[in-house]
Structure 1
Amino acid sequence: MNRSNTRLGLILFAVYLVLYGGFVLLNAFSPETMESTPIAGINLAILSGFGLIIGAFVLALIYGVMCGPDDEVPSQEREEQQ
């Protein structure tokens, strides 16, 4: 695995960890806030939970795009082509 891919993965993991940590802390220390219903009677806990799921998917897409296949042919395939 490429070092830059590893670094990007760790950065994206840290971003998600902060988001999830905020969600857990908010649930633990301010449950009244999570009971509020800002949109169509759906409480904030449900909305933020879905937000975390969508956020994880977006971060995975970012990682996939930025760490996509290289244009360089791996050495084993180069040897087979010769």
Structure 2
Amino acid sequence: MRQRNARIGMVLFCVYLLLYGGFVFLNAFAPETMEVLPFAGVNLAILYGFGLIIAAVLLALIYGWMCQPDDEDVAVKEVEK
């Protein structure tokens, strides 16, 4: 179970790393792209930043949902007590 949870955590971390890497890459090599105002006068850098925050929360929720203990694991722990 621990290995499975660690693998899921690593996959979700890599997903976030790609998202964040895209943000850094755009800021470093195409800063004019981040100055674009796609929505309501707010630049892309701000929207991307909020997107990163929302993505982090969603990935944490996904991790919590995917790594719930099985009913068998809970029953075994209760018996051991």
Q: What amino acid does structure 1 have at the position aligned with 2:56?
A: A
1:78 aligned partner: 79
Ranges in structure 2 where 5+ consecutive residues have no aligned partner: none
Distance 2:80 2:24 in 1: 52
**Distance apart, 1:2 and its partner CA:** 1.4
Q: What amino acid does structure 2 have at the position aligned with 1:77?
A: E
Deviation by residue 1:21-74 (Cα, 9 ceiling, x = unmatched) = 010010011110000100000000000000000001111111000101321236
Which residues of 2 match residues 3-82 of structure 1 at below 5 A? 3-72=3-72, 73=74, 75-80=76-81
User: By percentage of residues, which structure has more helix?
Assistant: 2
Scaled by the length of structure 1, the TM-score of the pair is: 0.89
Distance 2:8 2:19 in 1: 17
Runs of 4+, deviation exceeding 4 Å: none
Q: Identical aligned pairs, as a percentage? A: 68
**Distance apart, 1:77 and its partner CA:** 2.8
Distance 2:78 2:58 in 1: 32
- Which has more radius of gyration? 1
| Helix, strand or coil at the partner of 2:71 | coil
